[in-house]
Amino acid sequence: MTGPLPALHARAAELDALLARLEADEGSVRADRADATADDEHDPEGSTLSGEWQRIEAIRRAAASERAEVDAALARVEAGTYGICVVCGESIAPARLEARPFATTCIVCAA
pTM recorded for the entire structure: 0.77
Gyration radius (Cα) of the chain, Å: 20
Buried b (16+ CB within 10 A) or exposed e, 20-55: eebeebeeebeeeeeeeeeebeeeeeeeebeebbee
Pair 50, 40: CB distance under 8 Å: yes
Q: What is the pLDDT along the chain (111 residues), one digit of tens a residue?
A: 468 899 999 999 999 999 999 999 888 877 766 665 555 555 555 557 778 888 889 999 999 999 999 999 999 999 999 999 999 999 999 999 999 999 999 999 999
